[in-house]
Amino acid sequence: MEFRKIQMFIEVVRQQGFSRAAEVVFSTQSNVSKAVRQLENELGVQLLDRGVRGIAPTAAGEVVFRRGLRLLAERDDMMEEIAAIQGLQKGTLLLGLPQIGASALFAPVFTLYHQRYPGIDIQLVEHGSDQLEEILRAGEVELAASLLPVPKDFEWQEIRREPLAALISPVYDHVIEHDAGRATTLADLKDVPFILFEDGFALNRIILAACRRHGFEPNIIAKSSQISFICELASAALGVAFLPRLIAEMRRGPGVRIIALDEPETDWHMAAIWRRGGYLSHAARVWLDILHDLYPGERSTDLESEHKA
């Protein structure tokens, strides 16, 4: 069974069509269609339901899609390990970084890494933490960053823990009855509209879970993936926004107060993550070492022992 056929099938499912899949894999629609038919013949099952509503994987197709992602990731691991054995001086590091805090935490790492290893090309993907975990699981990046705790199929290296802060206009002082220097709770803010990040950001999940522990669902008035826009909305008194304290202090401006959030289990606890049992290239290990030098913290595994094993 050829990896190329599996890759074409996976892209047909992802792109929900043969023509768009062909563009992604730099082939023709007829070649992609032929590859999928050959894969179905080899397996002896129908993988795609070509209905009036479009193309969707059958039950067997779901299995091939899920397992195929892992096979392709393992293939990439094999190629990376061979390249490391050959002692290549140049290479590529695929990184997934969050849109919250990336510049504050990772810009110094980029600088040191490039100074020491100018031959390594860093290719960056930016998403919310939940989306980054899916991309990492599929093998599309080698390392990512996400909020702890993470699922058990990932190893992790702690970077930084920050409490959350509320960004809110003084217009709402009468609602929360805020005293200078006093932290507030989400229950204090339940009558204020919430400005959240878009779906796929782990920070949303943390905030909403804390609200439910207080027994209420917030009135979400806006969502965005852009920190600057969210801060502008808070400054315009549209509602309350939430950021890690470190990031909030960097965004301090007129028309908005930054108030500490007194909520257990809501800390922004950032970590570098990688697939448990997956191969880490030398380029990735060096990145983690530099990261650990700048932000000493716990690791879920001993990378050196794992590498020797």
Q: pLDDT by residue (tens digit) across 192-246?
A: 999 999 888 889 989 999 999 999 999 999 999 888 999 999 999 999 999 999 8
Which residues lie closer than 8 Å to 53 by C-beta, 6 or more apart? none
pLDDT of residue 84: 66
pLDDT for 179 beyond 80: no
Instruction: Read off the pLDDT band of 153 (50, 70, 90).
Output: very high
The Cα 161–Cα 157 span in angstroms is 12
Residue 82: CB partners within 8 Å, gap ≥ 6? Answer: none
Structure tokens at 267: 């800390």
Task: Classify residue 257 by its DSSP letter.
Answer: E
CATH class given for the domain over 164-266: alpha beta
What is the CATH code for 89-160+269-307? 3.40.190.10
Residue pair 83/91 in contact by the 8 Å Cβ criterion = yes
Cα angle: 188, vertex 194, 195; to 5 degrees: 140
Answer for the pair 229, 197: CB distance below 8 angstroms, yes or no: no
Residue 181 confidence (pLDDT) above 60: no
Neighbours of 245 (CB within 10 A): 16
Q: pLDDT value at position 174?
A: 77
**Architecture of the 3-80 domain:** Orthogonal Bundle (1.10)
What's the rounded Cα separation, in Å, for the pair 42 and 61? Answer: 13
DSSP string, 168-204: E-GGGHHHHTPPTT--B-TGGGTTSPEEEEPTT-HHH
| Cα(244)–Cα(230) distance, integer angstroms | 13
Residues of the chain with CATH 1.10.10.10: 3-80
Q: Which tokens go with 250?
A: 């960097």
End-to-end CA gap in the chain: 30
Rounded Cα gap, residues 59 and 49, in angstroms:
10
pLDDT value of position 157: 95
Domain ranges in the chain with CATH number 3.40.190.10: 89-160+269-307, 164-266
**Alpha-carbon distance 268 to 246, whole Å?**
10
What's the burial of 71, exposed, middle or buried (CB within 10 Å: 0-12/13-18/19+)? middle
Question: Which pLDDT score is estimated for 309?
Answer: 41
Distance of CA 22 to the CA centre of its chain: 27
pLDDT at 88 over 70: no
Quick: pLDDT tens for 9-56.
999 998 888 988 888 888 888 889 999 999 999 999 999 988 767 788
* 47: phi then psi, degrees, rounded to nearest 5: -100, -25
Question: In the prediction, which pLDDT does 255 show?
Answer: 82
Placement of tokens 């530099």 in the chain = 290
Share of the chain above pLDDT 70, in %: 92
Q: What pLDDT was estimated at residue 178? A: 54
pLDDT averaged over the chain? 87
- Give buried/exposed letters for 11-25 (b at 16+ CB in 10 A, else e): bbbebebbeebbeeb
> Which pLDDT belongs to residue 26?
80
